[in-house]
Structure 1
């Protein structure tokens, strides 16, 4: 899967999963910010960070002797860090669980696709 298709697949998967979560009652309200995350917001943020992943992959391909290995290590570390903020914003349990799941879903789609592109 090329990088653009991986990005689109990640955006679609994450946005559809967020829509499904919303349909079963997850409100995605972030009390500390006073907002509710929109489906468009999920798509935009997912796309942005997918592009960040692509930039990291391209840089590692250019400057690393083992780009795939380094990319996976870096991406998994960044994914782990991304799991922290949902716990810090004062959201309810359903929103926290859904946000963590969405982060993991995006990583599960994007990381293997980019790692394969580095072999």
Structure 2
């Protein structure tokens, strides 16, 4: 009878990544990310329009002006692209890009919930803003994490 002294765990060899396959992986991530960004922008703007239709004014006390609907799309698009850049950097330089991305994105999403809580807006506006931070996160984080898992080998 043969006896094995190892733990039965074998290290998975690193995928062979030349510049062409790396470029394809980054391009695929970017295309997936931009499609998710558009979906997040639409979903967030529609959710804001729905909140406004039920009476949320989105007025922040310091400025006195209401946040316009296109503002939700612009901010969502900007920070979604920041997420794509972070995902691309992790794909390039991390051994575990998907796991690190989820941790990083979840941490940044949590931090993004602080401004609505301290802005001094009414309860309805604060609650709506909190939800509107979570809507694009619920679209972008799983989509980019799935894309990173597929592309990182």
Asked whether the 8 Å contact 2:34–2:81 carries over to 1, the reply is no
CA distance in 1, matches of 2:33, 2:108: 19
- In structure 1, the residue corresponding to 2:46 is in which secondary structure? helix
Q: Pick from 47, 57, 65: which aligns with 1:27?
A: 57
Query: 1:2: how far off?
Result: 1.2
Number of aligned residues: 119
Q: Give the structure 1 partner of residue 103 of structure 2.
A: 73
Question: Quick one: which of 113, 121, 128 aligns to 1:98?
Answer: 128
Spell out structure 1 runs of 4+ moving beyond 2 A: none
TM-score, length of structure 2 as denominator length: 0.76
Partners in 2 of 1:74 and 1:35 — Cα distance? 32
Q: CA deviation at 1:70?
A: 0.2
What CA distance in whole angstroms lies between the structure 2 residues aligned with 1:12 and 1:63? Answer: 31
Q: Does the alignment pair 1:46 with 2:76?
A: yes
Superposition RMSD in Å: 0.9
2:144 is the alignment partner of 1:114:
yes
- CA displacement, residues 49-99 of structure 1 (integer Å, 9 cap, x when unaligned): 000000000000001000000000000000000001001111000000000
Larger Rg: 2
Question: 1 CA distance for matches of 2:105 and 2:64?
Answer: 30
Residue 47 of structure 1 aligns to a residue whose secondary structure is: helix
Higher share in helix: 1
- The Cα offsets for residues 15-63 of structure 1, whole Å up to 9 and x where unpaired, read as 0000000000000000112221010000000000000000000000001
Residue 29 of structure 2 corresponds to residue 3 of structure 1: no
Structure 2: gaps of 5 or more residues:
1-30
Structure 1: 5+ residue stretches without partners: none
